[in-house]
Amino acid sequence: MLSKKTALFYVFLCIGLWATLPSISKLGQSNLDSHQFLFWSSLVSFLSLLSATVFVKQTKTFATYKISNFLKIIVLGFLGTYLYYILLYFGYAHSNGLEVIILQYTWPVFIVVLSLLILKEKLTIKLWMSVFLGFIGVFLILSKGKFSEIQFDNLKVDLLVLGGAFSFALYSILTKKIEYEQYTFVTMLYFSASIFSFISMIWFSQFKLPTINSIFPILMNGILINGFSYIFWFKALKNLEASFVAPFVFITPVLSSTLLIIFFDEPILTIYLFGLLFVVAGGLINAIEKDKIA
């Protein structure tokens, strides 16, 4: 068991790493497209996590997995470490970063909806409020506040990002009752992500070696943001109550937005601030309620 201070350190470490994702994604895709960047990042994640698995002497755990276990992990890897990220990276490459961040953090709202449909959780007033606030936030972003003459000028990209958020929510729901050893589980997730991203790179793009400018973003993203952050997060959740940890996650979009504004001069629309407020409020309500209905 970790001490509370150590577990909290892991939480804030994850938040700090995840907050850099939009900026690192933009840097990495200056020379690579979304498919290429995801493939190299996933491959680095897989190799670094496999090395960690060897270091902690958990490689024998792979032999305990049945074929059904591997199939489940492949499906989860497709949803949570491939589809979510390829749509997210595409969004950061082709849309306003602040807009993508807000749409990305609708996944807690989707978790509420999927919990009702898949886990058969009870519908409460707080859950209604969570869904309502979340979708108000999304509507504000998609409409840009032009209610009289709504123009979805970037609708395709926005819908793809929302699709990614839905994919991550579904991944989260499906992993709720799964108990696997952490290192081998995350390693296999990124092994499947490497396979899927390689196929999509060959199918939709082309094989391309990273340039010197892309190496740092790939290593940063592969080793820390997507790789070991999962291990840190799982360790934190095993030692802290979910209701205590979850609200801290919503610091992430605020930090991410700040970094984009500082380093990339992202244009700020007032409507984005209202959208962020509604999405974060919906997620916080969901986090508080989630612990009560679990």
pLDDT score for 143: 62
* pLDDT on residue 121: 66
Which pLDDT score, from 0 to 100, does residue 268 have? 72
CA 222, 230, 53 angle in degrees (round to 5)? 80
Identify the segments of the chain with pLDDT beneath 50: 149-151, 289-294
Q: Where are the alpha helices (DSSP H) in the chain?
A: 4-19, 21-28, 34-55, 67-77, 84-94, 97-104, 107-117, 125-143, 155-174, 182-204, 212-219, 229-239, 242-249, 252-264, 270-293
Residue with tokens 């943001």: 225
pLDDT of residue 290: 47
pLDDT score recorded for residue 123: 63
Say how far residue 172 (Cα) sits from the centre of its chain.
10
Q: For position 291, what pLDDT does the model report?
A: 44
Six-digit token pair at 156?
């395709």
Would you list the domain boundaries of the chain?
A: 4-293
| Exposed e or buried b per residue across 16-32, where buried means at least 16 C-beta atoms within 10 angstroms of its C-beta | ebbbbbbbbbbbbbebb
Cα angle 247, 34, 211 (rounded to 5 degrees) comes to: 115
pTM: 0.83
